[in-house]
């Protein structure tokens, strides 16, 4: 009596495995994309809050006997020295916002736009303006609010 053993896999088994892998990929890949977008939003929000706290801290410490501020643009934030933002200043610290996140609105002292400046008083640390910065990715937004005391909060 001879026994025949088959070794290997059949084409049907291969098709079933590929079908299952395809289903798993179609379910998980969109979730990874959404996670990446949410992380970019979280990073951008964290960078803005960090820049505001950094400028306020430098102002309170009277680094170089000066105030420090933050300039907002749709794709970056810039920490600057003094009360007026000068784009050509070599001492500016530029922090790029990673796409797909962007600053979609800056409302400081009642004026809205896609850019704006705020600086902090050297002795008290209070901002010269209050307002909100909106960071967005597609349909999701976070609003960073700056109060009259210089406190920063995120919705």
Give the chain's radius of gyration (CA, Å).
25
Give, as one character, the DSSP assignment of residue 15. H
Q: What burial letters (b/e) apply to 62-92, b meaning 16+ CB within 10 Å?
A: eeeebbbbbbbbeeebbbbbeeebeeeeeee
Q: Higher confidence at residue 79 or residue 4?
A: 79
**Domain with residues 11-154, CATH architecture:** 3-Layer(bab) Sandwich (3.55)
Average pLDDT of the chain? 91
Confidence (pTM): 0.81
Min mean pLDDT across 3-12, 15-24, 40-49, 55-64 is at 3-12
Reported confidence tier of residue 29, pLDDT bands at 50, 70, 90: confident
| Structural domain spans, the chain | 11-154
């Amino acid at each position: 009596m001879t026994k025949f053993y088959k070794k290997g896999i059949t084409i049907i088994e291969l098709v079933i495995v590929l079908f299952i892998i395809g289903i798993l990929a179609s379910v998980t890949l969109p979730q990874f994309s959404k996670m990446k977008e949410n992380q970019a939003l979280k990073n951008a929000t964290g960078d803005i809050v960090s820049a505001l706290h950094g400028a306020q801290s430098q102002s309170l410490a009277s680094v170089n006997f000066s105030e420090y501020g933050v300039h907002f643009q749709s794709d970056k934030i810039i920490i600057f020295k003094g009360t007026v933002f000068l784009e050509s200043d070599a001492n500016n610290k530029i922090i790029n916002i990673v796409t797909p996140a962007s600053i979609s609105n800056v409302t400081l002292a009642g004026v809205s736009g896609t850019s704006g400046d705020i600086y902090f008083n050297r002795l008290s640390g209070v901002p010269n303006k209050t307002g909100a910065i909106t960071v967005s990715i597609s349909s999701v937004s976070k609003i960073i609010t700056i109060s009259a005391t210089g406190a920063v909060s995120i919705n």
